[in-house]
């Protein structure tokens, strides 16, 4: 038997009777499972999810569901095919032993695997003061249950909602409040809404958009504390400038935390930044060596991206979950040379204050921005982000049909500024600084240290940072 | 005599039933300059690229008339009857911001969201009733014309209802549309005596059609009535009311494009399925396939074979060629939809084709305005035809085609049948 025949036999046998475990039962986990079956995998498939629900769609939660158009339990994801899996829903994975190849569950059970997919995604960052976070009326939004609870509050005509953090989720929540005619105060530590994702120039436009829709927007401020009444219900937010805002609902939209704690001790390159993997979804161990049996997909994956100087990017976007899962699942039932790369150009969308905001590429990778089409005043426009003379991203406000053009330019490392449009040029077509905040110094990264002396003993190790 | 280019050959009436071999030849030069200075684009990738390129204008007023256009029989001259009469642009023939504003103003009265998301789907019972009536009318016949008896009456009845055009006016505008379409030619035959003699009639037909639309809009402005045209003539939306000339121009577009393309798609669908008995049988057994089937049928025989009003505003480098500023650009959707670089085995009809992102409705900002309605009509019409017509057989293959090259479709599709199921 030739080596090639042996490899082919190995793949065939694995597809017939291998054991695959997927940890994470949301968009990436589901699409991966479907792809595995579509690729002819007939072995055992276990899908583990900490939520009790079948996979559901999250983007509507902060939009249609909050608005009350769609009940939270009507968000189930459409199935592309039968997956014939053993679903372990409502029980979290709490540990991974890569030596014995077992996933440990919260109920004590251990599930063995031959190949593992990590698709645990992210969760909402909670309000940091646990007593205040426990007050009634204080919410975060990530899950179906979160959305249902918040929607219920909104339907009861709160006197005022305070939204902490004006990223996409916070801005969408504020938008829903205004549509429902609920007074809302948005408190953002940065200089403007969306500033981290899209920079200060677009942030300024977003700020005017919010204020025009009646949002009480307070930028450059934090919330120092939340105060409740004797019944344990939140009643006011105290801001860092000493002002107090009365409110009976508070939404903390402080970004997300990657669900990697269960991987502690597994020896994978997993940390607050996600789980490192190659562009084919194969996880790296802590030393930066690629593993053969552990794969990653979705929000929690972090892989080098060819278009962005091979920097490691985590793309917390819907299409990354879908396409990343498809590529990774393909690779899970193949061997070299049949591996495929996941080379997605990142992209996302948001709907807020009647405007459809879409983006391709990685805006914060750019340092300049130029308006290329439409009218900033009318909030219908396209803009491109550039770095060192090349286009790296684009954003559109109610101009989404043009994104494809910019996507092609970005893929080909086209020039920045891009060639001018033949019509409908903006008033100002000069590039300007995009005004991204300096990367904040992360506060919770553990140190990674090298240990051992002889080359064969050298290994990396996480050490919690000393304070 | 200079040899004709593949494009010119594709446009000859003799090749109307099967332009595909010439498209195949054409695709060897994805962006092919024609003797009159037009750039004909025939490959999927290049067409998609240009559809999304903001340096391409759709507004023929913005392109300088090329020198060749002065010559007798050129395409510019051929398009003249319509351009001369319709001085105001419609949404297909203008660019942003005008295009965006006008389409935005039309949208709520048609597909509806977010204000009336069920506008189109609520038409389903009406469409079914019309289709049922047409098929019931075939009972007792041994031979039908799938165009006159089926493909034509449905879309025209539906569009009249949607727009609020009185059905009794149908014979008049049907005549105008036919006359104008027959006078339009972009190929070598434009210079022929026959086409030249049709031109004056075509011009007059468009004029009469425009007067008809004007009068209808005036009537609705005085006395609001049912349908989209009246709603637009009385619009009090945030962006005001569309100027009357623009509204009239778009009304003409909606009446015409609102049925002509759908007629051709239904006719071609019947013809194509009768040519592919396996596909027909599969659809009969698995009626739920009608949704992907209609997409595949539209890919296979596109209702709009090409579009002719675009031009380059700046020099555009593409596929090893530079389209110079001012040059007219023709995008040949009918060829892109058969491009083997994009579609595996493109000349094969596959009702279950995956990844079937065809250009039958175009792409980008000019994506077919009526697509949701067209899809619903054709899915019901073809689905019911397949279900109810017993043993349909094609009488004549290829059937006679209409003259027009853009809106390509059979004039008649005679079918022998053994009856109609209930």
Chain A residues inside the 8 Å CB shell of B327: none
pLDDT(A266) > 60:
yes
> With 0-12 CB in 10 A as exposed, 13-18 as middle and 19+ as buried, what is A129?
middle
Cβ of B97 and A402 within 8 Å? Answer: no
Indicate the residue of B97, B100, B314 with minimum beta-carbon distance to A419. B314
**A-B C-beta contacts closer than 8 Å:** 51
Q: Is the pLDDT of residue B216 over 60?
A: yes
The verdict on a CB contact (< 8 Å) between A405 and B53 is: yes
Which chain A residues are closer than 8 Å to B319 by Cβ? none
pLDDT in the model for residue A28: 98
CA A58 to chain centre: 11
* A373 lies within 8 A of chain B by CB: yes
Is B35 contained in some domain? Answer: yes
Q: What is the pLDDT of residues A405-436, one digit of tens each?
A: 999 999 999 999 999 999 999 999 999 999 99
Mutate one of A423, A424, A425 to test the B interface: name it (highest B CB count within 10 A). Answer: A423
Chain A residues near residue B367 by CB distance under 8 angstroms: 401
Task: Report how far residue A294's alpha carbon sits from residue A305's, in angstroms, rounded to the nearest whole number.
Answer: 20
Those residues with Cβ within 8 angstroms of residue A170's Cβ, 6 or more apart along the chain or in another chain: A163, A164, A186, A188, A193, A251, A253
Q: Is residue B422 part of a domain?
A: no
A339 touches chain B (CB under 8 A): no
Quote the pLDDT of residue B83. 56
B1 assigned to some structural domain: no
Residue of A nearest to B45 (CA): A408
A60 touches chain B (CB under 8 A): no
d(CA B160, CA B259): 9
Name the E strands within B258-398: 307-312, 316-318, 321-323, 328-331, 393-394
A298-308 per-position pLDDT tens digit: 999 999 999 99
Whether B52 sits inside 8 A of A404 (CB atoms) is yes
Strands (E), A240-289: 244-246, 249-252, 256-258, 270-271, 274-276, 282-284
Strand partners, A349: A358
The reply to whether CATH 3.40.109.10 applies to domain A354-433 is no
| pLDDT digit string, tens, across residues B361-372 | 999 999 999 999
- The mean per-residue pLDDT over the stretch B144-162 comes to 97
Residue A378 has pLDDT above 80, yes or no: yes
Inter-chain residue contact B57 with A405, CB threshold 8 Å? no
Contact A233, A248 (CB under 8 A): yes
The pLDDT, as a whole number, for residue A442 is: 46
High-pLDDT (> 70) share of chain A, %:
96
- Ranges A316-330, B57-71, B172-186: which has the least confidence: B57-71
Q: What is the pLDDT of residues A73-83, one digit of tens each?
A: 999 999 999 99
Model confidence at A72: pLDDT above 50: yes
What is the domain-level CATH number for residue B28? 1.10.630.10
**Residue B411 pLDDT > 90:** yes
Contact flag A422-B52 (C-beta cutoff 8 Å): no
Domain that holds residue B389: 6-416
Which chain B residues are Cβ-neighbours of A373 within 8 angstroms? Answer: 54, 96
Q: Do B96 and A422 touch (CB under 8 A)?
A: no
- What is the model's pLDDT at position A444? 46
Name which of B52, B56, B95 is nearest A424 (Cβ-Cβ). Answer: B95
HSE-CB of A41 using CA atoms within 13 angstroms: 29
Q: Do B95 and A419 touch (CB under 8 A)?
A: no
B367 contacts A408? CB cut-off 8 A: no
Predicted confidence at residue A9, as pLDDT, reads 94
Interface touch B57/A401, C-beta < 8 Å = no
- Kindly state which CATH superfamily the domain A130-254 is placed in: FAD/NAD(P)-binding domain (3.50.50.60)
**C-alpha distance from residue B125 to each of A123, A234, A403, B255 (Å):** 46, 52, 37, 21
Report, as an integer, the average pLDDT of B167-173. 94
Where does residue B326 rank: exposed (0-12), middle (13-18), buried (19+ CB within 10 A)?
middle
Query: Nearest CA of chain A to the CA of B392: how many Å?
Result: 35
CB atoms within 10 A of CB A427: 8
**Does the CB of A424 have a partner CB in chain B at under 8 Å?**
yes
| pLDDT value, residue A448 | 67
Among B235, B233, B255, residue whose Cα is nearest residue B244: B233
- CA torsion sign for B227, B229, B233, B235 is positive
Q: How far apart, in whole angstroms, are the C-alpha atoms of residue B194 and residue B180?
A: 14
Q: Tell me which chain A residues have a C-beta less than 8 angstroms from the C-beta of B313.
A: 422-423
Q: Which of A342, A129, A126, A370 is nearest to A251 (CA)?
A: A126
- Mean of the pLDDT values across residues A124-132? 96
pLDDT digits (tens, 9 = 90+) for B28-81: 999 999 999 999 999 999 999 999 999 999 998 888 765 444 444 444 444 554
Domain boundaries, chain A: 3-58+79-122+257-332, 130-254, 354-433
Predicted confidence at residue B72, as pLDDT, reads 46
CA distance B69 to B12: 19
A179 in B contact zone (CB under 8 Å): no
How close does chain A come to B52, measured CA to CA in Å? Answer: 5
Q: Topology of domain A3-58+79-122+257-332, per CATH?
A: FAD/NAD(P)-binding domain (3.50.50)
Predicted pLDDT of residue A246: 98
Contact list in A for residue B57 (CB cut-off 8 A) is: 422-423
Domains A3-58+79-122+257-332 and A354-433 share a fold: no
Chain B CB contacts of A402 under 8 Å are: 52, 54, 364-365
- How much is the ipTM here? 0.89
Predicted local confidence at residue B113, as pLDDT: 63
Mutation for testing the A interface, residue in B96, B239, B327, B367 having most A CBs under 10 Å: B96
Q: Rounded to a whole number, what is the distance in Å from the CA of A371 to chain B's nearest CA?
A: 13
Could you give the CA distance from residue A31 to residue A35 in angstroms, rounded to a whole number? Answer: 6
Q: What distance in Å separates the CA atoms of residue B173 and residue B152, rounded to the nearest whole number? A: 13
Supply the pLDDT for residue B413.
Answer: 98
- The pLDDT, as a whole number, for residue A443 is 43
Q: Which of B254, B345, B337 is nearest to B298 (CA)?
A: B337
What residues of A are in contact with residue B49 (Cβ under 8 Å)? 408
Give CA–CA dist B420/B192, Å, rounded: 44
Q: Which residues of A touch B55 (CB under 8 A)?
A: 419-422
**Averaged pLDDT score across all residues of chain B:** 92
Calpha distance A414→A421 (Å, rounded) = 15
Name the minimum distance, in Å, from the CA of A137 to any CA of chain B: 31
Which residues in chain A are closer than 8 Å to B115, comparing Cβ atoms? none
- Is the pLDDT reported for residue A464 higher than 60? no
B contacts of A423 (beta carbons < 8 Å): 54, 57, 59, 62, 95-96, 313
């Amino acid at each position: 038997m030739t080596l090639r025949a042996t490899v082919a036999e190995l793949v065939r046998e694995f597809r017939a009777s291998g054991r695959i475990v997927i940890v994470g039962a949301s968009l990436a986990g589901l699409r991966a499972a479907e792809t595995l079956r579509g690729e002819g995998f007939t072995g055992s498939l276990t899908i583990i999810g900490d939520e009790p629900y079948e996979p559901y769609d999250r983007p509507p939660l902060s939009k249609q569901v909050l608005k009350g158009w769609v009940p939270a339990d009507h968000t189930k994801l459409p199935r592309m095919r039968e997956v014939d899996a053993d679903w372990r829903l409502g029980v979290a994975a709490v540990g991974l032993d890569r030596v014995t190849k077992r996933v440990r569950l919260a109920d004590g059970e251990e599930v063995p695997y031959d190949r593992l997919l990590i698709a645990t995604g992210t969760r909402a960052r909670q309000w940091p003061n646990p007593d205040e976070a426990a007050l009634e009326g204080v919410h975060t939004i990530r899950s179906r249950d979160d959305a249902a609870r918040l929607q219920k509050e909104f339907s009861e005509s709160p006197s005022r909602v305070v939204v902490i953090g004006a990223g996409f989720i916070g801005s969408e929540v504020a938008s829903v409040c205004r549509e429902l005619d609920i007074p809302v105060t948005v408190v953002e530590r940065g200089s403007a809404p969306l500033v981290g994702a899209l920079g200060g120039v677009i942030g300024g436009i977003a700020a005017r958009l919010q204020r025009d829709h009646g949002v009480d927007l307070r930028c450059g401020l934090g919330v120092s504390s939340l105060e409740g009444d004797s019944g344990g219900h939140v009643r006011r937010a105290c801001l860092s400038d000493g002002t107090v805002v009365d409110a009976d609902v508070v939404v903390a939209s402080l970004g997300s935390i990657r669900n990697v704690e269960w991987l502690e001790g597994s020896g994978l390159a997993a940390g607050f930044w996600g789980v490192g993997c190659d562009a084919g979804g194969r996880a790296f161990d802590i030393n930066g060596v690629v593993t053969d049996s552990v794969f990653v997909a979705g929000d929690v994956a972090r892989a080098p991206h060819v278009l962005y100087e091979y920097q490691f990017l985590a793309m917390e976007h819907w299409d990354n979950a879908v396409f990343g899962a498809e590529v990774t699942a393909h690779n899970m039932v193949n061997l070299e040379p049949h591996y495929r790369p996941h080379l997605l150009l990142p992209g996302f969308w948001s709907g807020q204050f009647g405007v459809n905001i879409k983006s391709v590429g990685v805006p914060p990778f750019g340092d300049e921005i130029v308006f290329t089409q439409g009218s900033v005043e009318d909030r219908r426009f396209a803009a491109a982000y550039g770095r060192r003379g090349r286009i790296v991203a684009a954003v559109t406000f109610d101009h989404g049909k043009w994104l494809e053009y910019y996507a092609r330019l970005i893929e080909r490392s086209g020039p920045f500024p891009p060639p001018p449009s033949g019509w409908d040029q903006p008033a100002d077509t000069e590039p300007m600084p995009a005004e991204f905040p300096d990367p904040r110094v992360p506060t919770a990264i553990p140190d990674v240290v090298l240990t051992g002396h002889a080359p064969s003993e050298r290994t990396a190790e996480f050490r919690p940072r000393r304070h | 005599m200079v040899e004709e280019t593949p494009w010119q050959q594709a446009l000859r009436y003799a090749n109307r039933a099967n332009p595909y071999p010439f498209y195949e030849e054409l695709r060897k030069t994805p962006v092919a300059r024609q003797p009159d200075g037009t750039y004909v684009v025939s490959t999927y990738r290049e067409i998609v690229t240009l559809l999304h390129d903001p340096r391409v204008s759709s507004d023929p007023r913005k392109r300088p008339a090329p020198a060749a256009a002065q010559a007798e029989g050129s395409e510019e001259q051929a398009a003249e009857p319509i351009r001369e009469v319709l001085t105001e642009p419609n949404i297909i023939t203008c660019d942003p911001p005008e295009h965006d504003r006008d389409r935005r103003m039309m949208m709520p009265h048609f597909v509806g969201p977010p204000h009336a998301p069920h506008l189109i789907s609520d038409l389903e019972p009406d469409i079914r009733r019309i289709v049922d009536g047409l098929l019931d009318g075939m009972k007792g016949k041994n031979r039908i014309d799938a165009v006159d008896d089926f493909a034509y009456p449905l879309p025209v009845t539906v569009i009249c209802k949607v727009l609020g055009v009185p059905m009794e006016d149908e014979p008049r505008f049907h005549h105008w549309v036919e006359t104008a379409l027959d006078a339009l030619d972009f190929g070598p035959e434009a210079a022929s005596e026959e086409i030249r003699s049709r031109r004056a009639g075509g011009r007059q037909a468009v004029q009469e059609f425009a007067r008809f639309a004007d009068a209808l809009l005036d009537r609705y402005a005085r006395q609001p009535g049912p349908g989209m045209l009246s709603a637009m003539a009385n619009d009090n939306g945030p962006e005001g009311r569309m100027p009357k000339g623009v509204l009239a121009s778009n009304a003409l577009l909606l009446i015409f494009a609102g049925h002509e393309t759908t007629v051709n798609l239904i006719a071609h669908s019947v013809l194509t399925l009768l040519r592919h008995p396996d596909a027909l049988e599969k659809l009969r057994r698995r009626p739920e396939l009608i949704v992907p089937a209609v997409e595949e049928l539209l890919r296979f025989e596109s209702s709009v074979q090409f579009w002719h009003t675009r031009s380059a505003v700046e020099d555009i480098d593409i596929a090893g060629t530079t389209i110079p500023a001012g040059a007219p650009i023709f995008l040949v959707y009918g060829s892109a939809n058969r491009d083997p670089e994009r579609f595996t085995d493109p000349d094969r009809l596959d009702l279950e084709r995956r990844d079937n992102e065809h250009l039958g409705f175009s792409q980008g900002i000019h994506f077919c305005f009526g697509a949701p309605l067209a899809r619903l009509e054709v899915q019901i019409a073809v689905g019911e035809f397949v279900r109810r017509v017993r043993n349909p057989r094609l009488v004549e293959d290829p059937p006679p085609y209409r003259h027009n090259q853009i809106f390509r479709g059979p004039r008649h599709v005679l079918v022998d049948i053994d009856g109609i199921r209930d």
